[in-house]
Amino acid sequence: AQSVAQPEDQVNVAEGNPLTVKCTYSVSGNPYLFWYVQYPNRGLQFLLKYITGDNLVKGSYGFEAEFNKSQTSFHLKKPSALVSDSALYFCAVRDTGQGNLIFGKGTKLSVKP
Amino acid sequence: DAGVIQSPRHEVTEMGQEVTLRCKPISGHNSLFWYRQTMMRGLELLIYFNNNVPIDDSGMPEDRFSAKMPNASFSTLKIQPSEPRDSAVYFCASRQGDSPLHFGNGTRLTVT
C-alpha cells in the first residue's frame, strides 16, 4: 500500500533563512508525489507535483521539491522563507490503484521575523 | 472560477441529529472527493466519485455516513445520527482527469 511520512510535526525557521520540510514515501511502482499547503480555516492548496522527469520540481510561491529515489524522499524546500509561508504543509502520494491521494499527517511551518 | 463551494461553513448540532454537508465541485471536473480532517487522524479519505459514480467508499466510518452525487455539479455527505466523535472539518475536493485536487474551504462540524 502507498504511504507517505512526514517525520516532523513542526519546523521553525527565521525569515530569510532556507527551509526544508521533509517527506518520505513508500509506493509500489512509480510514485506520483504532491505537496499541498493549508492556511488557517482554508482548504488545501496545490503547490507542486512530481510524476516523472527532473528530480527538482518547481512550484508555486517559490517552493521547490527534490525527488530522491534512492532515499525515497520528496522534501519541500525554499531558499528564503517568508513570514507569510507559515502554514500547514502536506505531502501526498497518489494511490496508483484507485487514483485518490493519500496524505501525510502534515508539518506545521512557523517562520519568525 | 468560483472554486469548490461547500456549505455550510460551520455546523453545530446535537448528538442524534441528522447532518447534511453540501458540495459544488468546479464545473467540468469529473472526480469528487470527501475528506475528513481531525487533529488525531489527520486527513482521511471518506469516499470518492468518478463521473458521479462512487468508486471507493472504504473510508466511510460506518453506516451512519452516506454520500450521494446525483449530478455532476452537486454532492452531499450525510451523517445520521450524528455523534460527538464525528466532530471534524469535512473537505470536498474535485479534479478533472489527472489534474491536481482543488479543495473547498471545508465545513467545520461540531456535535455536542
Strands A107-112, B107-111: pairing is: unpaired
> Nearest chain A Cα to B104, which residue?
A43
pLDDT in tens, B72-91: 999 999 999 999 999 999 99
Interval A79-99 mean pLDDT: 90
- How far is the C-alpha of A79 from the C-alpha of A86, rounded, in Å? 15
Taken in order A30, A60, A20, B35, is the CA torsion positive or negative? Answer: negative
Before A113, cis peptide (omega within 30)?
Answer: no
Q: Does B55 touch chain A (CB under 8 A)?
A: yes
CB < 8 Å to B42, chain A: 103-106
Using pLDDT thresholds of 50, 70 and 90, give the confidence band for residue A54.
confident
Strands B10-13, B107-111: pairing is: parallel
- CB nearest to A43's CB, from B31, B56, B104: B104
CB < 8 Å to A97, chain B: none
CB < 8 Å to B33, chain A: 100-101
Residue A64 CB contacts under 8 Å (≥ 6 apart), including other chains: A48, A56, A57, A58, A76, A77, A78
pLDDT at res. A29: 82
Bridge partners of residue B102, in order along the sequence:
B94
> Nearest chain A Cα to B46, which residue?
A100
Over 70: is that where the pLDDT of A97 sits?
A: no
Closest C-alpha to B64, from B7, B16, B10, B5:
B16
DSSP assigned state of B33: E
Over 70: is that where the pLDDT of B1 sits?
A: no
> Nearest chain A Cα to B9, which residue?
A41
Over 90: is that where the pLDDT of A35 sits?
A: yes
> Nearest chain B Cα to A47, which residue?
B100
CA B63 to chain centre: 15
Bridge partners of residue B110, in order along the sequence:
B12
pLDDT in tens, B25-58: 999 999 999 999 999 999 999 999 999 999 989 8
**Taking a contact as any Cβ pair under 8 Å apart, which residues of chain A between 2 and 61 contact chain B?**
34, 36, 41-46, 49
Q: Does B106 touch chain A (CB under 8 A)?
A: yes
- CB nearest to A100's CB, from B4, B48, B104: B48
